[in-house]
Amino acid sequence: MFIENFSLGIGDRFGREGVAQLEVLRMAPGVVPVWNKSNREHLLIGTSPADTRAAADAAVKASGWTAPYFLRMGK
């Protein structure tokens, strides 16, 4: 897998801040967002990796983000 030179891990513990985080990243061209949530966070708030995927995809769609983005799934 190819990933750009600059990425920034973004967390959205409750799935409500993704659009705002993407808007900030628009000011940093060439920086690719990587959503990540640890297993500990999933256990604390009762989510799953699929929930993180859904929140990221929804934020990308709602914000009109067209650049690459990634999810780090795992522990």
Residue pLDDT, tens place only, 51-75: 999 999 999 999 999 999 999 876 5
Q: Is 43:13 a contact under the CB 8 Å cutoff?
A: no
Report pTM: 0.85
Q: Is 33:57 a contact under the CB 8 Å cutoff?
A: no
Domain limits for position 31: 6-72
| Count: domains in the chain | 1
- Over residues 8-40, the pLDDT tens digits come to 988 777 778 899 999 999 999 899 999 988 888
In a domain, 1, yes or no: no
70-72 and 6-10: which strand pairing? unpaired
In a domain, 52, yes or no: yes
